[in-house]
Amino acid sequence: MAKGFNKGPALGGQAGVMQQLQRMQKQMEEAQAKLAEETVAVTTGGGAIKVVMTGDQKCKSVEISPDFLKDADAEMLQDMVLSAVNMALDQSRELQQKMMGPLAGGLPF
């Protein structure tokens, strides 16, 4: 057999890829921790409903204006809360994509 053939993959290349993956994993963990601290806030009904959500999609608070409760019926209140939560989720996902997207784009595959 010719010299230099059939030695398998170069170890230096594998070590480099492993180091890169470890760096990316650390960056992902740091970004996820930062997402857990970042928040988005959404209001509906002219400020009658306010939802605050973290970047990792955990609802932190739902505030309902007492003035709104005087005239609101249950169905309208439910619709507005649902709308605010969904909008907050959308914004939270956008924040997550903004922070995590560049990291996923650097995968060496």
pLDDT tens by residue, 46-87: 999 999 999 989 999 999 999 888 887 889 899 999 999 999
* β partners of residue 93: none
Q: What is the pLDDT of residue 109?
A: 42
**Beta strands per DSSP E along the chain:** 39-44, 49-54, 59-64
* Residues contacting residue 84 through CB under 8 Å, at least 6 positions apart: 42, 43, 44, 49, 50, 51, 62
**Residue 109 carries which DSSP code?**
-
DSSP state at residue 21: H
Of residues 3 and 14, more confidently modeled? 14
- The separation between CA 58 and the C-alpha centre of its own chain, rounded to angstroms, equals 10
End-to-end CA distance of the chain: 32
Task: Tell me the fold of 39-92.
Answer: Ybab; Chain: A; (3.30.1310)
CA distances 20 to 5, 23, 102, 106, Å, are: 27, 5, 14, 9
pTM recorded for the entire structure: 0.70
Give me the mean pLDDT over the 35-49 stretch.
Answer: 92
